[in-house]
Structures are given as structure tokens and as C-alpha cells.
Amino acid sequence: SAIAVIVVAAGSGTRLGHAEPKAFVPLGSGTVLSVAVDSVLGMRETPHLVLVVPADRVESTRSRFAPVAEAAAAEIAVVAGGATRQESVAGGLAVLPDSVDTVLVHDAARALAPALLFDEVVGAVRARRRGIVPALDVVDTVKRVSDDGRVLETVDRSALRAVQTPQGFPRASLDHAYATAHEEFTDDAALVASAGLVVDVVPGDVRAFKITVPADLHRAEQLVAEREA
Ligand code: CTP
Ligand code: MG
């Protein structure tokens, strides 16, 4: 039973505001994408890896990661993404080999998510045969507000979670959900849930934070510097 990890890296990184698309921004001695790939290749079982990148980066990404794939004895496919994250994931799903039965979808922007988190998600998908998403408790007090900025109520945060990636699914569930989706969702768990399938949470990891704004990149640089030291 084979695992695939689809790393979506085709976004432009508007909020980061860097000249390069976010996944191609330098991080440590590599890039946001290469740091993410290092984690994936640290998994207990080497997965089939699919990198989804901007169309004009497909060729250069193939060349960049060919030696990495060879050194790790891993299969790394590179495909062009779409206009939305959901389209990019669909592009990755389209090139999975038949042998794959467990699929993890991961944001390249969560470059520092540790390999162990991937292993835990794979273990939970296999044990429970359903979608699995890593999640953290919400630490801030959360308010519901009106359009004109008035506080309406404080939401009970004990039932709320902030979800991360990698999100893992039985391959058949994800294929089915993508084949039947007719709405845009911000993550794969929402898309799978919209198809009527059950998704569970497992404990997330603070290191799986998403590099979104410049302060996040700064934090990532510090963590990589500690790791590379
Ligand atoms: N992503 C993608 N294809 C898109 C949009 C996003 O593959 N059309 C990927 C991004 O590369 C990122 C992940 O989805 O790894 C999460 O998206 P986000 O953090 O929103 O990244 P961007 O869309 O690039 O950033 P922004 O929204 O600030 O432009
Ligand atoms: Mg975005």
C-alpha cells in the first residue's frame, strides 16, 4: 500500500509580498519548497511525491529536484497548478499512480511541519480509514462581530480548532470528493466533509504554522537557522 504526498506550491504569495512566488522564496540554505520537501523525505516510509508549482516553474523545479529524488530513491513528479488551491490539488491528484491508496495534501508554505507529523497522519488514516487533519486548540478569545464592527458574542472556543496540513485521506475518499465538488473550499477536509465523509482531528504541531506574512518568514528563518546550526 503506497503513500503519496501532494505538496501544493503554486500560489503567488500575495500577503508575503516577495518578488518570487512564496514556495520559491529563499529559506535557510534552500527555499520554502525545498525545506518542505526535506520533511517529506524524512518520513518513515518514502512516499510518491508530487510537487504542484506555477506553470512557468515546472521545468526548473524538475531539474532542481531530480538529484534530490535520486539521492532519496524517491519518485518526484512535478506538475503545473491552477488558479486556486483546490485546482492545484486536483492537478496533483490527476497524476497519482494506481498503487497509491493513502494521500496526504500539504501546503509548501507549512515548510517546517516535521516528518513525524506526516507519519502520524499516515498512521491515523490507515488505522481509522477516514480523513485525518492535524489541529491545534484556539488560544485567542474569539468573537462573532457584525458587519459594522460591533461585538455580538464571545464564541465558545473549546469546540474550535485551527487546522493545519498535512491532511491525509484514503485515496478513494479524496478522488470521490474532488470528482463531485462543485464549490471552492479552503482546505481538503472541508471538501471531503462536503461529500458527506467523516474527518477526524489529531494533535497538530506548532512548527506546522503557515508562512503567510513577512513575520512568519522571519520565524521560519530562525527555526531553520537553529536546525542547520
Ligand atoms: N496554492 C496553490 N495554488 C494556488 C493557490 C495556493 O498551490 N492557486 C498553495 C500555496 O502555494 C500554498 C498553499 O496553497 O503552499 C496555501 O496557500 P496560501 O498560504 O494562501 O498561499 P498563496 O495563495 O501563495 O498566498 P496568498 O494567499 O498570500 O497569495
Ligand atoms: Mg492564497
Which class is domain 2-228? alpha beta
Of ligand 1's listed atoms, the one at least distance from the Cα of 9 is: 11
Instruction: Map out the domains of the chain as residue ranges.
Output: 2-228
Find the mean pLDDT for residues 216-224. 98
What's the pLDDT score for residue 92?
98
Backbone angles phi, psi at 125, to 5 degrees: -60, -45
In 2-53, which residue ranges form alpha helices assigned H by DSSP?
32-40
Determine which residue's CA is closest to atom 13 belonging to ligand 1: 107
Residues 79-132: tens digit of each pLDDT = 999 999 999 999 999 999 999 999 999 999 999 999 999 999 999 999 999 999
d(CA 28, CA 49): 22
- Chain centroid, CA 107 distance in Å: 3
Q: What is the average pLDDT value for the chain, to the nearest integer?
A: 97
| Residue 128: its H or E element | helix 115-128
With 90 as the cut, is the pLDDT of residue 221 above it?
yes
Pocket probe mutation, ligand 1, options 6, 14, 22, max atoms within 8 Å of Cβ: 22
Confidence band (pLDDT; 50, 70, 90) for 189? very high
d(CA 130, CA 145): 34
The burial of 27, by beta-carbon neighbours within 10 Å (0-12 exposed, 13-18 middle, 19 or more buried), is given as buried
Pairing of strands 48-53, 2-8: parallel
Find the mean pLDDT for residues 214-226. 97
Find the mean pLDDT for residues 1-7. 94
Percent of the chain with pLDDT over 90: 98
Backbone angles phi, psi at 199, to 5 degrees: -130, 135
d(CA 37, CA 118): 12
Confidence band (pLDDT; 50, 70, 90) for 228? confident
Q: How far is the CA of 38 from the centre of ligand 2 (A)?
A: 23
With 80 as the cut, is the pLDDT of residue 1 above it?
no
Confidence band (pLDDT; 50, 70, 90) for 150? very high
Of ligand 1's listed atoms, the one at least distance from the Cα of 84 is: 8
Q: What is the identity of the amino acid at 115?
A: A
ipTM confidence score? 0.99
How is residue 40 written as a grid cell?
A: 517529506
Q: Is the dihedral of CA 134, 5, 124, 113 positive or negative?
A: negative
Q: How far is the CA of 212 from the centre of ligand 2 (A)?
A: 9
With 90 as the cut, is the pLDDT of residue 229 above it?
no
Ligand 1 binding residues, C-beta < 6 A:
8-15, 22-23, 52, 81-85, 88, 107-109, 210, 212
How is residue 199 written as a grid cell?
A: 474527518
Instruction: Please compute, for residue 39, the number of CA atoms within 13 A of its CA located in the half-sphere on the CB side.
Output: 28
Single pTM value for the model: 0.97
